[in-house]
Amino acid sequence: MNPGQKSATTGVWFRSDLRVGDHGPLLEAARAGAVSCVVCLDPRDEEPSRLRGLPRRGPFRARFLGEALVDLREALRSLGGELLVRRGRPEEVLPSLAREEGWTALHFHEGVGTEEASVEAAVRLALPDDCAVRTWWDRTLVDPSELPFAVDQTPELFTRFRKLVERGDGFPEPLPAPRSPLRRPATPAESGDLPSAGELGCGALEDDPRAVLRFHGGSRAAAERVQAYVWEEDRLKGYKQTRNGLIGADYSSKLSPWLALGCISARQVQAEVERYERERVRNDSTYWLTFELLWRDYFQLIAAKHGAALFRASGLQGIERPWQHDEQGFDAWCEGRTGVPLVDANMRELAPSGFMSNRGRQIVASFLTKNLGIDWRWGAEWFESQLLDFDVASNWGNWNYAAGVGNDARGFRYFDIATQASKYDRRGRHARLWCPELDRVPERLIHAPWQLTPSQQEAASCRLGRDYPRPLVDLDASVAANRRRWEESERR
Ligand SMILES: Cc1cc2nc3c(=O)[nH]c(=O)nc-3n(C[C@H](O)[C@H](O)[C@H](O)COP(=O)(O)OP(=O)(O)OC[C@H]3O[C@@H](n4cnc5c(N)ncnc54)[C@H](O)[C@@H]3O)c2cc1C
């Protein structure tokens, strides 16, 4: 570099990738010269959801985001860098910073949803001409450029996708964090304040002691969770047997909130799985965690392939169904007042903790769409609002799947509530945990309290319609009625 010549500055736009390790945009920027790292708090994230007018980001995810930003700023500072925090639309914030600090390039990870893609397009348009744009895709375990098909040719069936992936040579190694200190721009812009809890809308949040875990945002907490689950508690070797659990921290990895915000990457998790396989044991459980990460990959690629179709009522396959728009039924579902303990317990877990097990999610999604026949997109919006681990591709993709309008739609499939209850909460521990009014109901009827006689209700201090709701629907009859309505709609 000539004396007096300014070193190149690269802007790094942090999005759902709040980490410094396995971060291609940051690593390459650090190699090229000075780095300016920025996160934009986009006011559009505060807008209510389209159909139900719900807050898009509930308080638990908001708190998690706030913690993750604190953690990222600390991590960048420890590397000699800084995290600039800006309030505003990226297409306004980034071009203005590019001019102020003289960026020659902007690096970022591509998003997967349609809104993310349109913001990216707007950013590209608004940047000064001499600021080049370079993007990465590190959100999946697989490297899309190594796949034997283009993203828009992703197979519609998961098994086909998985088999093609498993024919490859394994997964890319995670990238290291930048090794040498980050250089700051010659005249760095002001850092900007991190958002307060009040600004994020998660002021006085109380943690429910029944929650599976207190999830702290940030890469450090993600690494601690890996350390605890994989190494200290040694749970990975039994994951395949425990993964359908409903209670407690250790039936599954609970890594999803960190993966969703990119505090840890899928490749970093996979690297730990492979180390565990080398150092401790390799079995069907260790494989199964990779298998689940491939489900995650699959939904990311399917979302990228199908774009806006992910969000339409007729889903990825364009299958028209006679969805109901029953406000009361929907409210009862959200609030865990359907009178069906397996559903209510899971729904009552979600709101005060931001989490629900995978088994629970499948059950309540099936109940909403197949027993109540309610528009699945309402459910997807509720989950989007409440889930700590909300991820556009995983949420809307799984909802498509549960509603029977997704890529692998095969007629009217549903989860039989009685069977699910007897398999996954036979003794009613989860039901009692989240619906304490059922505490004294005998085990035999814990999942069918509507069968309690008046004297049994009295003895259990659980009067139907007073202490616990009567069921909103008859389980078998409602499934049969919705099946019939589907079949009729097919004949039309
Ligand atoms: C209706 C519905 C909505 C969902 N919405 C989301 C969402 O918004 N965000 C989200 O991360 N997951 C979502 N899932 C998938 C799954 O329920 C969660 O990933 C899982 O419960 C998280 O817990 P865990 O980290 O302990 O998972 P583990 O069982 O430990 O699995 C490890 C990782 O694999 C991935 N994974 C596992 N199952 C799935 C799956 N079915 N789809 C996609 N990825 C998967 C997750 O990243 C998870 O962290 C949804 C599932 C359903 C049925």
Q: Is the pLDDT of residue 409 over 80?
A: no
CA angle 157–307–217, rounded 5-degree value: 90
Q: How far apart are CA 359 and CA 346, in angstroms?
A: 9
Q: Which residues of 16-52 are buried (b: 16+ CB within 10 A; e: fewer)?
A: bbbbbbbbbbbbbbbebbbbbbbbbbbeeeeeebeeb
Give residue-wise pLDDT tens across range 103-159: 999 999 999 888 899 999 999 999 999 999 999 999 999 999 999 999 999 999 999
Mean pLDDT taken over the chain:
96
Q: Tell me the percentage of the chain whose pLDDT exceeds 70.
A: 99
- Range 420-445 average pLDDT: 98
Distance 265 CA to ligand 1 centre (A): 14
How far, in Å, is the centroid of ligand 1 from the Cα of 160? 20
Q: Which helix (H) or strand (E) holds 365?
A: helix 358-366
Main-chain dihedrals φ then ψ at residue 11, nearest 5 degrees: -85, 140
pLDDT at 298 over 50: yes
Res. 1: pLDDT tops 90: no
Residue 277 has pLDDT above 70, yes or no: yes
Mean pLDDT to the nearest integer, 327-333? 98
Q: Could you tell me what percent of the chain has a pLDDT over 90?
A: 94
Tell me, using a 6 A CB cutoff, whether residue 396 lines ligand 1.
no
pLDDT band at 251; cut points 50, 70, 90: very high
Q: How confident is the model at residue 323 (pLDDT cuts 50, 70, 90)?
A: very high
Looking at the predicted structure, is the pLDDT value of residue 434 above 90?
yes
Question: Which two structure tokens, joined as six digits, stand for 273?
Answer: 């799985």
Residue 203: predicted pLDDT:
82
Domains (ranges, CATH) in the chain? 9-138 (3.40.50.620), 140-173+219-304 (1.25.40.80), 327-491 (1.10.579.10)
Nearest atom of ligand 1 to the alpha carbon of 390:
8
pLDDT band with cut points at 50, 70 and 90 for residue 270: very high
The type of residue at 62 is: A
User: What is the DSSP code string of 257-268?
Assistant: HHHHTTSS-HHH
Q: Is the pLDDT of residue 2 over 50?
A: no
pLDDT tens for residues 345-355? 999 999 999 99
* Mean pLDDT (whole number) for 463-477: 98
Pocket-testing residue among 276, 358, 376, ligand 1, by greatest number of atoms within 8 A of Cβ:
358
Nearest CA to ligand 1 atom 5: 395
Please provide the distance, in angstroms rounded to a whole number, between the alpha carbons at the two ends of the chain: 72
Q: In angstroms, rounded to a whole number, what is the distance separating the alpha carbons of residues 390 and 384?
A: 6
What's the CA gap between 9 and 6, in Å, rounded?
A: 9
